[in-house]
Structure 1
């Protein structure tokens, strides 16, 4: 009967669900995390440098609310966050997603008596590296934070390093959208130039930045774009310099792909990168599926750094 009453309250709009986020550091006091911080950590826009290079336990508390006030703790979901050298968790989350996807048995497996070894091993690795269940002590701390009886019950709220952005007014949004709508024309025009023209373009842009002070920053910007493109063109023509062989396992849904895994090798030239890409493709070909592709790409270190991939 209680369930039906709760369901009726939810349908009437008097009850809703909210999320609370907590971090339980291995060598510190438990912390409450704001929604903005968690969203920033997940998207890669925010960091917690004090936990760089560590693995920490985190909990999402699902709380039922009525008229904006918490009424009961519905459930908790524990996880292990793997912080990179900058204090970010995005790379670790992507690795966890890759293991979770690999742990799913192939849809084409029809023999129920056959147990696929790889998915079971990946599930075991995923559980060991990224799953964690909070104990009663952690739950009690969260409950006290949600329904404090005294001031000290409230957990400290930690902050990331990203500054709170100022409000974007309508005029500001319109202006930046108007300006950025032409960016693709600029980059496309520069990319279409061949090396001799690229050299002349970059030189002329630098010259104009000296004689046209009103637009000097813009001329310098397109000169830098041209010089970068010229170096990439030279690398692609000669095959010299550092190259990367990259293979991505892409998860596709509604014609939108997201990289679940990224594997790469740093090579001394393009020929070595070609060989490395073939080897990586062979190693990960078994992950190809109905909605999963395995794609290879070669790129210079300039392009690698531009995409902000880890080295």
Structure 2
């Protein structure tokens, strides 16, 4: 059974609005805004649904959030503050010999609940239910609007074409990453040559050549340990049915050795976040790899 999440906004003295996934993604990664709510706090609701055959079957969970919109109508700063309070609210064992008990977890938990959470009423939930399973046209809520350009509709044919084409993408990456440097150089040269000869597929061959060049550069960077590297600590929370990376702590370094030292320090500095349901995953990577991880993290937020 698949799980999906829908979002709703409950402005004061106005009917609730439905938030598209595109708009929520834009708000949470800082690429979209709702200037009509600038410098206000608004209530939002997340609805976790169990789905079957692509259709919502039942509501699994609901949770209320308070979004703080800044002067530009963005919420990213408020989300970062709420995340900081959530991480600080985790209880940690105190040394047995200690005589001072930190109040920080309790204070952060209270601030999180008071300023960033709210409990939707039965009437609020019933209004959402009518939107999810409408009986009349009036049951459907209006869509909230952001400022980013709306994407063109993805038709069934377009989605099917993308799905069919991308099925082998993983194998393309695996094949290129398995090549050693001499083979990569030959691969790149031949792909560029074919791009000039087979003009119908030139864009595909050019893309293959670029992937080969990136892999060759990555290989050289790993071998030398020079250039820009990143020390990375990922904070991973074990949810009831899945794991979620809730925070990525990173530091840019000059070279792999410096990144290793920085990673050790970041792990020690953030060891207090470790808990029975929270793990810390530490790694070092080149800026080429970091760009991929950072982009994926922004997209998931």
User: Of the candidates 27, 48, 59, which is equivalent to residue 43 of structure 2?
Assistant: 59
Alignment length, in residue pairs? 254
Contact 1:84-1:91 within 8 A present in 2 as well: no
Deviation at 1:270, TM superposition (A): 0.9
Secondary structure of the structure 2 residue equivalent to 1:172: helix
Aligned to 1:183: 169
Aligned to 2:68: 81
Contact 1:82-1:89 within 8 A present in 2 as well: yes
Matches within 5 A, 1:194-205: 194-205=180-191
Aligned to 1:21: 9
- Kindly indicate whether residue 85 of structure 2 is the aligned counterpart of residue 99 of structure 1: yes
Contact 2:28-2:76 within 8 A present in 1 as well: yes
- Kindly indicate whether residue 200 of structure 2 is the aligned counterpart of residue 224 of structure 1: no
Aligned to 1:168: 155
Contact 2:34-2:146 within 8 A present in 1 as well: no
Q: TM-score, normalised by structure 1?
A: 0.65
Contact 1:22-1:60 within 8 A present in 2 as well: yes
Assess, with a 3 A threshold, how the Cα gap between structure 1 residues 218 and 207 changes in structure 2: closer, same or farther: same
Deviation at 1:262, TM superposition (A): 1.5
Aligned to 1:41: 26
Aligned to 2:197: 211
Unaligned runs of 5+ in 1: 1-17, 25-29, 63-75, 134-154
Contact 2:82-2:112 within 8 A present in 1 as well: yes
Secondary structure of the structure 2 residue equivalent to 1:220: helix
How big is each residue's C-alpha offset from its partner over 1:195-221, in whole Å with a ceiling of 9 and x where there is no partner? 121111111111110000111111011
- Kindly indicate whether residue 232 of structure 2 is the aligned counterpart of residue 246 of structure 1: yes
Assess, with a 3 A threshold, how the Cα gap between structure 1 residues 31 and 308 changes in structure 2: closer, same or farther: farther
Assess, with a 3 A threshold, how the Cα gap between structure 1 residues 49 and 109 changes in structure 2: closer, same or farther: same
Alpha-carbon distance between aligned partners in 2 of 1:164 and 1:77, rounded to the nearest angstrom: 28
Aligned to 1:66: none
Alpha-carbon distance between aligned partners in 2 of 1:235 and 1:84, rounded to the nearest angstrom: 42
Secondary structure of the structure 1 residue equivalent to 2:294: coil
- Kindly indicate whether residue 146 of structure 2 is the aligned counterpart of residue 159 of structure 1: yes
- Kindly indicate whether residue 258 of structure 2 is the aligned counterpart of residue 283 of structure 1: no
Secondary structure of the structure 1 residue equivalent to 2:68: strand
Assess, with a 3 A threshold, how the Cα gap between structure 1 residues 61 and 23 changes in structure 2: closer, same or farther: same
Aligned to 2:258: 272
Secondary structure of the structure 2 residue equivalent to 1:164: coil
Contact 1:58-1:80 within 8 A present in 2 as well: yes
Q: TM-score, normalised by structure 2?
A: 0.67
Alpha-carbon distance between aligned partners in 1 of 2:252 and 2:15, rounded to the nearest angstrom: 39
Unaligned runs of 5+ in 2: 1-5, 47-62, 119-141
Larger radius of gyration: 1
RMSD between aligned alpha carbons? 4.4
Alpha-carbon distance between aligned partners in 2 of 1:214 and 1:300, rounded to the nearest angstrom: 35
* Higher RCO, 1 vs 2 (CA within 8 Å, ≥6 residues apart): 2
Alpha-carbon distance between aligned partners in 2 of 1:295 and 1:156, rounded to the nearest angstrom: 39
Alpha-carbon distance between aligned partners in 2 of 1:193 and 1:84, rounded to the nearest angstrom: 51
Matches within 5 A, 1:140-155: none
Aligned to 1:142: none
